[in-house]
Each structure stands twice: as C-alpha cells, then as structure tokens.
Chain A
Amino acid sequence: MLDPEIILNHEYVPKHEILSEKEAEKLLKKYKLNSKNKLPKILLSDPVVKAIGAKKGDILRITRKSYTAGTAVYYRVVV
C-alpha cells in the first residue's frame, strides 16, 4: 500500500471524510433513501478508502473542486 500521506496530499485526490452515524442517517433522510445501496459506490479496495481506513458500509463525503459550482459535495458508500 502506498503511503497514505502521499495519496491524501496529492493534488488530484479530493477531500474524503467518513460520515458519523448521525450524519449518515441525516443524509439518507435528506435524499429520502431507504437504503445505502441507492448511493453511488466506492470500492473497499480504493486507495483513498484504504488510506483513511474506511470500512464497508461507511459513507464518505467527497468535497471536490468543480468547474461549475466552485466546490461540489458528493457522497459514496464503501462496498
């Protein structure tokens, strides 16, 4: 595995955060989702997932730069 420091500080790797249980629940409620499966996915084997130590079923908040919106927030569930 590549050094997490290197991965997370790379220019092209956006900010990934693991949502707390409360936040995750709020997110699902906000988008009226009955299951995490309706969220976009990210593989457990993804280098960033490994680097931040996310577990299967965790929801990640990804904050990236966006051409249209400045910063855009995206959520993915670890599978």
Chain B
Amino acid sequence: MGVEKRIWAIDFGLLSPEMVRKLSQIRVVTPDTYDEDGYPIEGGLMDLHLGVIDPGLRCKTCGGTVATCPGHFGHIELVRPVIHIAYVKMIYTLLKATCSKCGRLLLSKEDIEKYKQLITGEKEIDEDTAIEILEKAKKVGTCPHCGIKQKDIKLVKPMSFYEDDQRLFPTEIRRRLELIPDDDLKLLGLDPDVARPEWAILTVLPVPPAQTRPSITLETGERSEDDLTHKLVDILRTNQRLRDNISAGAPQLIIEDLWDLLQYHVTTYFNNEISGIPPARHRSGRPLKTLAQRLKGKEGRFRYNLSGKRVNFSARTVISPDPYININEVGVPRDIAKILTIPEYVTEWNIEKIKEFIKANDYPKALYVIRPDGRRKIVTDASKDTILEELAPGYIVERQLMDGDIVLFNRQPSLHRISMMCHVVKVLPGKTFRLHPVVCKPYNADFDGDEMNLHVPQTEEARAEALHLMLVQKQMISPRYGAPIIIGDQDFVTGAYLMTYENTSFPKYLATKILARAGITKLPKPDKKINGKPMWSGKLLFSQSLPKKLNLDYPARICVGKNKCEYFKKKGKCEGCPLDAWVKIRNGKLLSGVIDKVSFQGILVDTIFRKFGSSAAADFMNKSTKMALEALMHIGFTAAFDDTTPSIEAKRKVGEILSRAEKEVNKLIAKYKAGELERMPGKTVEETLEDMIMVILGKARDDAGNVIAEHLDKNNAYLIMARAGSRGSLLNVTQMSATVGQQAVRGKRILRGYRTKTLPHFKPGDIGPRARGFVRSSFRDGLDPIEYFFHAMGGREGLVDKGIRTSKSGYMQRRLINALQDFVVRNDKTVRDATDTIVQFAFGEDGADPMKCYGEYPVNIKETILLEQKEYEELPEEGEEEVVEEGGEGGRYE
C-alpha cells in the first residue's frame, strides 16, 4: 500500500523560467526530428531524452521502453523574450496599474495600507476587491511614490503594446513587471510565489514530451510529424535566425521583424485561433491544431475524451419492424451476433457444453478463453486443442451472442427510463435490428432510418437486474400516468376490429392459419355453421389470446355514449348492444363487442397486466397482434383514392351546406357593415363578427363531415380506420371528401398580407369566407391556387409551432430532470436528496406509484365493488378440438 495523501488545495500559477529549466531534460536546439536512417537527432525535437515512441529504442532519461517511458519535457532558450498570448490582458492591466519607473502600485500609501488590512495570514484578497483596486490604480496619472508622470499605454490587438506611440518590446515590459513588489501583487489578487507577472513573458519555452506529439508513419514509409512538432520546428528556426542576425549585427529593423515572427510562432503554438492573427497552416492549407485546439470545444480533450464515455460490448444499426417476433425480443443481425460476446463461467456442470463452443468452427463458437490467472487467449484452429485440454472449472469462455441472451436496447434521446429496456436476443439474417412494432411508443421510434443501440451485460448480476427490472413486458404500464404504453396501433387495431366485428367468421383453413400465426396449436370447437360448413367466429379466435380466467365488461370505442344511444334509452342496459359496442368477456371468451383502440391501447392490456401479471400480458400482446395481422391480411384492407369519392347525392348535400353557410356569413357581414351587428359581452363588434363567422364555418364543416360519413359505404376503409381508432379521424375523412374548411393562423381566420386584403385578387375590405382563408374544395377535388396558398399558411404555422415547442419543452425538461436527478423515494415513502434531507413526506403527497394506480386513482373502485358482489357467473369450460392435419378446405370468411 502506498502512502495515503489528501489534497488540501490546488495552486494555479505560471511556470517560471527557472522551473521550466528544472523540468527540462534537455535543451532543444536543432529544428529537426529524425535523420535519414530514421533515428532521432540528438538535440532535436524527437531527442531520446524527451521520451521514446519508436519501438526498440530506449529513453535516455529514464531508460524505459515505449511501454514504460512516460515522456519527459525539454526546453528551448528563446533569444529574445516573447509575450504569452493568454496573459496579454493581465500584462496590460498590470502595466497600467503600476508605475513605469518604480514599479509600485499606483495608489497612495494610505490606500495600500487600508487594503493590506484585508489580507491576513493565509487569506487572499477576494476577486471583487482586486478588480476594484486595479480600476482605481489605472486612473492615477502620477505615481504617488516617485512622482513620475505616467504615460498612456495602449494595447494594439492582439499583442503589441505602445506607450505614447512608442513601441514597448517584451524586454521592456518584462523589466517593468519585474519591478512590481510582491506585496503590491498580493493586493491585485496574484500570488507572487506561484505567479510572478514577468513569467508571462517567455524567455524559455517548455518542449512537451515526444509522446504528446507522436509522429505517424504513412503506408508509403514517409514520416508525418504532429502539428505541435511542426510548430516547434518553426519556433526553433526563427529563434536560430534571430540569434544569427543579432550576432551578425544586423540592422534593428530586421531584428525586430524576426522578433515579431518569433512572437507569431509562439503565439500560434499556444492558440491558432486568435482573432487578428492569420492561423498557421499546414502545407496542405489546413490550419494547424495547436495546444488550445487540443483542449477546446466539442471535439477537445475535455468534452470528447474526458466527459465522453464509450463502451465495449455494444452495437448500433438501423431498426426495422418485425411483428412476428415476440415483444420481448430483439432481432439481432448475425454479423453483429458474431462479434458480441458473453462470458461463460466454466463449471463442472457446463464444461461439456462449453467445450462444444470451443470445438465449433462457425457460429455459435467461442472467441476467447480467459484463464484463471487472467490471461486472455484467442481461440483459433491452432490453439483449440490445447485449450480444450487445459479447460477446467474457473476458466471463462467468451462465446458469441446467441438466441435467448439478455441485452439492453436503447434509443436516444433517452428521455425516460423506458428509453432503455431489456430484450431477449433472437439472431436473424439481415443487417438491421428488428423490434416488435408495439415497443415503438416507449422508444418513440419509427422506421424511417432510426438507429438504436444494443448493450450486452457481462455479469450475472447485471443480467439478472436487467431481466427483472427492465424487461419489456415489465414496462407495459407507463410509470408516468399508469396507462399501458406498450400498445398495438394502426394495423393491429384495424385487424382486430375487422376480425372481431359482429359476425365475422372464418372457415377452418383460415382459422387454423390465424391461430398458428400466434403459435396456438389447439383449435376450439367451431361456433358457427354456414351452408353446412363449420365456421369459427373472429371473436372466438381472438379469445384464444386472452387469459382463461378473464372477465370484463366495458364499452368499446365505437360506443356512441349512453346519452345518445337509442338502445340504452329503450332497454336501460348495454347488454346486447346492436352496434356490437358492448365488450363482454367471460372466462377468457369474447362474448360480445368488438376489439378496437380502447381494448388494444387501454383497458384490455391494462387489466390483463394487473390481474394476470406481465407474462400473461406479454403473451396476450404476442398472440393477439399476430392474429390481428394474419386476419387483416386474409380479409384484405386497402385505402385508396376511390374511398374518398362521395356519392353524387352526398356531394350535392355538402354543396348545399357550404353554400348556405357562405350565404349566412355574407348576410352577417352585410349586417356588420350596416352597423346593425350586436356586440357580444366583452368583445368588440369586429371580434363578435369573427367569432360568429368561425362558428358558422366550423359548423358547416362538421355538418359536411357527417353527411359524408353517412353516405360513404359502411366498409369504407377510411371510416373503418377512424371508427376503430387505428388511424385518422372523421375530420380527415371530411377534409378528403367534403371540404378542407377554414384555415387559421394564430387561431384566427387568415388576415395577414396587404393592409386591406389578404391577396391581390380580392377587393379592398373583402372579409368574405374566401378572402379570409376558407377552403371550400376537398383534397379529393383539389385546391385552387388561392385556397392552396391559405392552406400552406395554416400548415406552416403548425410546422413552426412544432419545432419551437419541441426544442423549448425539451430544454425545459432537461433542466428539470437535472435539478431532480438525485432525489430518491425511500421505503418509508419520503422523497429525499443525497444528504438524506426530506423533500416530500410522501411521494406525490399521496405516496402512490402511478404505475400501480388504476388510471387516476390508487384503487380501482368499480372493480372492488364488483368483486364484493361476486357478480360474475361461472361459465362451463368448453371442450377443445385438436388440430388435424389436412389440406385447404376452400371457403370464405363471412
């Protein structure tokens, strides 16, 4: 064990020339790296004292090899001092705040004494006071200590100083900074022990170790040096020229030019993105990446290498849907499964199985073996036999990913916990990850090119945790609002709807096919006979996916509601609903009612999950979605252009409705212009008019929609989708077949454009429906240019809104989550932070977990009452018929 040490403080300071020389192992003088033989030149930038990067050589400082030598600093003696670019500002303020002659702070003795009181013992002056002192000193014109008048000092960006138009060279600046007494520096917030200001004027430049700027050998055998080395070469060359010129007694002008050049090279060596300085470029014209560029920004050392985390045992590729796998599964391309590995711990019980992996020549095989001493060995044809011989309990064998392995699957942005769930591997051909469409919602995924990540847990604990806490089926209820989040939509809903609607039934060959899709091999007794042939109703088939003990009663989505329902008014009950909107399930048999969105995205999934557990719910999802799809394919479902065509009768009626509405609006406008319109409370006359027009036109569109819905065929694809809740609404149907309706921007009819009209085609002051964005045409008929323009205006608003909203709310949510991230709900229901401080005495004030609540309530009141009354009658179990192998019967569904 080493010595335990504790960090008490960190000093930030400047390297003194003395320190640089002390740290340095060698003075670099030659602006060259390697000789013709590829051997590092002595005294050059790749001198062996600076560390080794070439295999086979030894470091002249520590004697280490490539693997052991950590690298060592060298130094360059600058002939003339140069300014360190990062400290220009500090130098400038110091020059202004101190006397040019005596170097004292430009404050009176009394002031200095006063401020000195603030520094006692270890305590340093605080930043605000330091700035205050500086500002005060800058304004003083004559030195209160020696009485010398201070000349005006100017900084010409980026790094030249002038005193009354007289250039101040770094040598002079350095001389002045040296004069400032330590005590005065303390008042300015500088610690003279670690940061004497004259150290910001460089006389010695440290040369970083070779390891920090390794040269790379190209395929052609050519050596290519690091950008930093290039820059150091420039510095050394200029330094040498400057030295030669000085010793040769060259004119002052030339020396100054070279001095400036040296300054330029040292500056760009530190930072190549200083404004006002042309960036140093590579031969190819690419700007060099110097010190600051290595650290700065998104791709810098901090954000990219230190904060950026990368992991092993992961994969990423495009996703695509596959409803034939289970919801818990993820389809993994074989090419990926061949690379990802799982460590298998060899025991005396599994050693034979594992030997098979090592023996195998192709997938699934073992890739590596880790011996008990931690040594890793690649399994190859050559090493196979020896490995097999020595294999014993205690070895770890890394085998390829296989069916049934546990993995984590994730899609960014990971906004909530269900953005990352546990899946079971299913290795499939192809190059994409396959996932069941019902898990799109939690991941917010679609298949327009989305990519997802996959991670393979490497320990038994990690796998157990993933499997029990994160498995897809365990996440079916949203922890945010307590309703199902893993839901069937679109085709699944349409399929289930068509399959279970009223008397839909299937002949044997279809019934068996549909059941087989779901992996059900037992055929129930047929419940119908049509033309003497046995038929299976869709309800019966769907029932096969339900748990055997499920009992439920609820209205389907297509239910019109108790207030509107004629049947309910007459009979006072929902049982036997003529619309087939009353879902009744007894002992896992769907007796009446159609399965639509309400079932598939809510109550059915919800109930099964809570009453029969996550496995039963997953089982239901697996089976029902597959059956719904198979049924949908056999029934056939197409939404085409023709489905939008209204009958002549409907078209006439729609025309009438619209014309009437337009006439009504025009009458209203006339009334308004005559000044006879009565004001609604709290509104101006104009607002009243607008409101009334909006109401009339809105109603006209609704009426038109209802007419269309009435006149369209019952089996119209769009209507079926709207009714079942799988996609679209009556409004969409209306817009396609009847009228697009009023377009709005900011909730108002369109009134922007010119001062008196919206488009040049209208008369000034025209506020009729057409001039204010009422689109009379339907999408089917097509929009005329004016209508098209207004529609585009309305559409654009939606688009802009969406963009703004998502970015705004995203950022807001991010900040909220950052603020709440270490709050934890404890076992005693309190919410506490990392220091155990209580934030809330019961989570959410009621201590209820939304995931375990029934919708809005912690207790399912209705269900509890029903249980109390034991209302359910027990139905006798029905017998089942084994599937018999036989050819197609040739029949049709009804």
Contact = CB atoms under 8 A, between A and B. Distances in A.
Contact of B838 (A40, A67, A68): A40
B764 interface: no
B844 A39 contact: no
Interface string B838-869: 11111011111000000000000000000000
A38 B838 contact: yes
A31 B841 CA distance: 9
Interface residues on B, range: 10 to 19
Contact of A74 (B836, B841, B847): B841
Contacts of B832: 38
Contact of B836 (A38, A69, A72): A38
Contacts of A68: 844-846, 848
Of A33, A38, A68, A69, most buried by chain B (CB within 10 Å of CB) is A68
**Overall SS of chain B's interface:** loop
Given A31-B828, A31-B830, A69 B838 contact: no
B220 interface: no
Interface string A10-50: 00000000000000000000011100011110000000000
B386 interface: no
B117 interface: no
Quick one: which of B830, B835, B845 has the most chain A CB within 10 A? B845
Contacts of A39: 837-838
A31 B846 contact: no
Contact of B839 (A37, A40, A72): A40
A39 B840 CA distance: 9
A38 B847 CA distance: 19
Given A66-B845, A66-B846, A69-B846, A31 B837 contact: no
Contacts of B845: 66-69, 72
A52 interface: no
A10 to B, nearest CB: 21
A31 B848 CA distance: 18
Contacts of B848: 68
A75 B841 contact: yes
Nearest to B841: A74
Given A31-B828, A31-B830, A72 B838 contact: no
Contacts of B838: 31, 33, 38-40, 75
A31 B828 CA distance: 8
A69 B839 contact: no
B830 A69 contact: no
A69 B842 contact: yes
A32 B836 CA distance: 10
A69 B841 CA distance: 12
A59 B25 CA distance: 66
A73 to B, nearest CB: 7
Contacts of B844: 68-69
A49 to B, nearest CB: 19
Contact of B841 (A32, A70, A73): A73
Contacts of B830: 31
Nearest to B837: A38
A67 B848 CA distance: 13
Interface in B414-438: none
Nearest to A27: B841
A72 B846 contact: yes
Contacts of A38: 832, 835-838
A68 B379 CA distance: 61
A49 B534 CA distance: 80
Nearest to A67: B845
Contacts of A66: 845-846
A74 B837 CA distance: 14
A51 to B, nearest CB: 23
Interface in B462-515: none
Given A31-B828, A66-B846, A68-B846, A37 B841 contact: no
Contacts of A69: 842, 844-847
B859 to A, nearest CB: 13
Contacts of B836: 33, 38
Interface in A51-79: 66-70, 72-75
A32 B839 CA distance: 14
A75 B839 CA distance: 10
A76 to B, nearest CB: 10
Interface string B607-638: 00000000000000000000000000000000
A68 B847 CA distance: 9
A21 B830 CA distance: 22
A73 B847 CA distance: 12
Contacts of A37: 837
A33 B841 CA distance: 13
Interface string B801-839: 000000000000000000000000000101010011111
A39 B847 CA distance: 18
A33 B840 CA distance: 14
Nearest to B846: A69
Nearest to B850: A68
Contacts of B842: 69, 72
Contacts of B837: 37-40
Nearest to B828: A31
Indicate the member of B828, B832, B838, B848 with the most A CB atoms within 10 Å: B838
Nearest to A30: B828
A33 B844 CA distance: 21
A32 B829 CA distance: 13
Contacts of B828: 31-32
Interface in B452-467: none
Contacts of B840: 74
Contacts of A72: 841-842, 845-846
A39 B837 CA distance: 6
Contacts of B841: 31, 72-75
Contacts of A33: 836, 838
A32 to B, nearest CB: 8
B335 to A, nearest CB: 50
B826 to A, nearest CB: 9
A58 B671 CA distance: 70
A9 B837 CA distance: 31
A7 B836 CA distance: 33
A31 B847 CA distance: 15
A46 B840 CA distance: 20
A37 B840 CA distance: 14
A68 to B, nearest CB: 4
A74 to B, nearest CB: 6
A69 B840 CA distance: 13
A59 to B, nearest CB: 12
B858 to A, nearest CB: 9
Interface string B20-53: 0000000000000000000000000000000000
B591 to A, nearest CB: 37
A70 B844 CA distance: 12
Contacts of B839: 40
Nearest to A34: B836
Contacts of A70: 846
Contacts of B835: 38
A69 B844 CA distance: 8
A61 to B, nearest CB: 10
A70 B846 CA distance: 8
A43 B838 CA distance: 17
A4 B20 CA distance: 71
Nearest to A64: B845
Nearest to B856: A68
30 contacts: A31-B828, A31-B830, A31-B838, A31-B841, A32-B828, A33-B836, A33-B838, A37-B837, A38-B832, A38-B835, A38-B837, A38-B838, A39-B837, A40-B837, A40-B838, A66-B845, A66-B846, A67-B845, A68-B845, A68-B846, A68-B848, A69-B842, A69-B845, A70-B846, A72-B841, A72-B842, A72-B846, A74-B840, A74-B841, A75-B838
**4 nearest A-B residue pairs (beta carbon):** A69-B846, A72-B845, A68-B846, A66-B845
Given A39-B837, A68-B845, A72-B846, 9 more contacts: A31-B830, A33-B836, A38-B837, A40-B839, A68-B846, A69-B844, A69-B845, A73-B841, A74-B840
